[in-house]
Amino acid sequence: MKITLLMCFLSLSLSLIFSLISMMISKKTMLDKEKLSPYECGFNPFSSSRIPFSLRFFLISIIFLIFDVEITLLLPIPFILFYKFSILTFSLFMIILLFGLLYEWNEGALEWAN
């Protein structure tokens, strides 16, 4: 019990000492407005950074992520097709993805321009 308490105290004190040393070393001496601004190139922003972006861009990026994960899950399929349960799982996975693709196609989310 004493050893465990000693180890906990030692690890806590070492963590505290290293954190304090890190804070003292990393103190920045020169804090000016240009250094703290989010634009590091030196130019003033031309417009507000809070403008809304296109919802179509968001939908296309989500579709890309979904199909990117799909490819990652489909790559090992030839190696596991020896098992009967894996064929059923693979078929169910492909049917769900196909219905999702058809839904997106019917909603018009796959069209770039009207």
Domains of the chain (ranges; CATH) run: 55-113 (1.20.58.1610)
Residue 69 CA from chain centroid, whole number: 13
The pTM of this model reads 0.40
The residue count of the chain comes to: 114
**Which residue, among 57, 69, 54, 72, has the nearest Cα to 100 in the 3D structure?**
69
Q: What does the pLDDT look like over 2-46, one tens digit per residue?
A: 888 899 899 999 999 998 888 888 766 556 665 666 655 656 666
**Contact, 72 vs 66, CB < 8 A?**
no
Q: What does the pLDDT look like over 44-65, one tens digit per residue?
A: 666 666 667 777 777 778 888 8
3-state helix, strand, coil in the chain (%, to 5): 65, 0, 35
